Amino acid sequence: MRKHLSLLAASLAATLALTACGSDPSPTNGGTAESGGGETSTIVVGASPVPHAKILEFVRDNLAADAGLRIEIREFDDYVLPNSSLADGTLDANFFQHLPYLESEEKDKGYDFTHGEGVHIEPYAVFSSKFGSVAEVPDGAKVAITNDVSNQYRALKLLEKGGLLQNITEGTSALSLTAEQNPRGLTFEENQPEIIVQLKDDPAIDLAVINGNFILTAGLTTEGALIVEEVAGNPYANVLVWRTGDAKPGVEKLDELLHSPEVKEYIAKEWPSGDVTPA
29-61 pLDDT tens trace: 334 444 444 688 999 999 999 999 999 999 999
**Single-letter amino acid code for the residue at 240:** L
pLDDT at 109 over 60: yes
Q: Do residues 129 and 221 both lie within one domain?
A: yes
Q: What's the domain count of the chain?
A: 2
- Kindly state whether residues 58 and 150 are assigned to the same domain: no
Q: Residue 22, class by beta-carbon neighbours within 10 Å (0-12 exposed, 13-18 middle, 19+ buried)?
A: exposed
Taking residue 270's Cβ as centre, other Cβ atoms within 10 Å add up to 14
Residues 130 and 222 in one domain: yes
Which structural domain, as residue segments, surrounds residue 135?
A: 125-228
- Write the single-letter amino acid at 46: G
| Whether residue 102 has pLDDT greater than 50 | yes
User: Which DSSP state fits 153?
Assistant: H
User: 94 with 112: CB under 8 angstroms?
Assistant: no
Clarify whether residues 113 and 155 are in a common domain. Answer: no
Does 5 have pLDDT greater than 80? no
Q: Is the dihedral of CA 253, 258, 260, 263 positive or negative?
A: positive
Tell me if 29 is assigned to some domain: no
CB–CB of 85/91 below 8 Å? Answer: yes
Q: Are residues 62 and 199 in the same domain?
A: no
User: Assign residue 245 a region: left if phi > 0, alpha if psi is -120 to 50, beta otherwise?
Assistant: left
Q: What is the pLDDT of residue 142?
A: 98
pLDDT at 39 (0 to 100): 82
C-alpha span between 47 and 70 (Å, rounded): 16
Is residue 154 situated within a structural domain? Answer: yes
Same domain, 129 and 224: yes
**pLDDT (average), residues 242-263:** 96
pLDDT digits (tens, 9 = 90+) for 209-249: 999 999 999 999 999 999 999 999 999 999 999 999 999 98
- For residue 169, CA distances in Å to 146, 160, 178, 267 come to 17, 10, 12, 32
Return the bridge partners of 190, or none: 145
We report the CATH number of the domain holding residue 69 as: 3.40.190.10
Is 119:258 a contact under the CB 8 Å cutoff? Answer: yes
- Domain assignment present for 8: no
User: For residue 32, is it within any domain?
Assistant: no
